[in-house]
Amino acid sequence: MLGRGNRLVFPRVGGKPIGNTAKWELLRTLKIAAVPHGFRSSFRDWAAEETDHPREVAKAALAHKVRNPIEAAYRRTDLFERRRRLMDDWAGYLAGGSCKG
């Protein structure tokens, strides 16, 4: 759990997820020529092209559902520590550092 017991990094008032409209408005207000889903795509491309982190870890970091029911039945981990390392590397990359992964 994150601060104040919420599982969301950026919750809106009341602890609910930020809606799509708010994301679009924020980008428009900041004059950022991007779309909200583009951030997820950028992360996925970076993880694949610039790191050695396994594909499954990047997919888990994006909260992708395992669609294959057999694979899902055998998935017994949330890969939390590996996702944490991946996100630490992503934060370093965004801050202008180099990728360790």
DSSP 38-88: HHHHHHHHHHHHH----HHHHHHHTT-----HHHHHH-----HHHHHHHHH
| pLDDT of 64 | 81
pLDDT at 81 over 90: yes
The pLDDT value recorded for residue 14 is: 82
CB-based contact 27:35 (threshold 8 Å):
yes
pLDDT at residue number 9: 76
- Summarize pLDDT for 21-65 with one digit per residue, the tens: 888 898 899 998 888 888 889 999 999 999 999 999 999 999 888
Whether the predicted model's global pTM rises above the 0.75 cut: no
Confidence grade of residue 4 (pLDDT, cut at 50, 70, 90): low
Rounded-to-integer distance, Cα 82 and Cα 66, Å: 17
Contacts of 58 (CB under 8 A, 6+ apart): 43, 44, 47, 48, 86
Gap between the Cα atoms of 50 and 44, Å rounded: 10
